[in-house]
Copies of this chain bind each other. A is one copy, B any other.
Amino acid sequence: MALAEAILVCLTERPMSGYDLAKYFDASIGFFWRASHQQIYRELGRLRERELVDSQEISQSGKPNRIVHTITDKGRTAVTGWSAKPVRMPSVKDELLVKLYALETVDTKAMREQISVRLEQHQSKLSEFRRIKSRFYDGKDLNLNQKGKLIALELGIDQELFRIAGWETVLKKMTDAGV
């Protein structure tokens, strides 16, 4: 259950509400471990039960109340313990690759269209990563915390570049194969 730890890692940055966490995931750590707001709320409940976070309701006049979650010392210890444990290989699940594998059986016109869509998605992720890099990291003096995030981000950028090249090659090879 790395979702728990991903949340705790975010909370080492600053205390956050479930909504803040969902936004934070979308814009950063979620590039490496995606989670929906429902998952985050459920996991926060469990983290509270295990006393890894401390949750405080803050009343706001007018607006609905915010529940702000703060990582506890027990939570910090849990993160360090987790960090030393071995990781698994990331799960492999790409329907588009299954379709490619089944090339003879599929609708190849639709398939080319789907590859184009995929290419655009990688392109927009690439732009987003580059924007974040130039905005927050380029030409700045970075501490270790920031350096870690930058290294991860640069790996993300290279990955998007690779994937764009990869799917473009696939399109060429499909053409060569006559489909």
A contact residues, total (Cβ < 8 Å): 67
Given A101-B152, A151-B170, A173-B151: A84 in contact with B107 (beta carbons within 8 A): yes
- A6 and B143 CA atoms in complex are apart in Å by 46
Q: Which of B9, B87, B93, B118 contacts A101 (CB 8 A)?
A: B9
Interface string of A154-168 (1 = CB under 8 A from B): 110011001000100
Q: Most chain-B CB neighbours within 10 Å: which of A12, A93, A107, A170?
A: A93
Q: Flag the segment in A56-64, A109-117, A130-138 that touches B.
A: A109-117
Question: Which residues of chain A from 21 to 79 have a CB within 8 Å of any chain B CB?
Answer: 28-34, 76, 79
- The answer on a CB contact under 8 Å between A110 and B84 is yes
* B residues near A170, Cβ cutoff 8 Å: 151, 155
- A109 and B114 CA atoms in complex are apart in Å by 42
* B residues near A79, Cβ cutoff 8 Å: 102, 105-106
- A8 and B158 CA atoms in complex are apart in Å by 34
Whether, in the assembled complex, A95 has its beta carbon less than 8 Å from a beta carbon of chain B, the answer is: yes
- The answer on a CB contact under 8 Å between B94 and A33 is yes
- The answer on a CB contact under 8 Å between B101 and A148 is yes
- A79 and B95 CA atoms in complex are apart in Å by 12
* B residues near A87, Cβ cutoff 8 Å: 94-96, 99, 114, 118
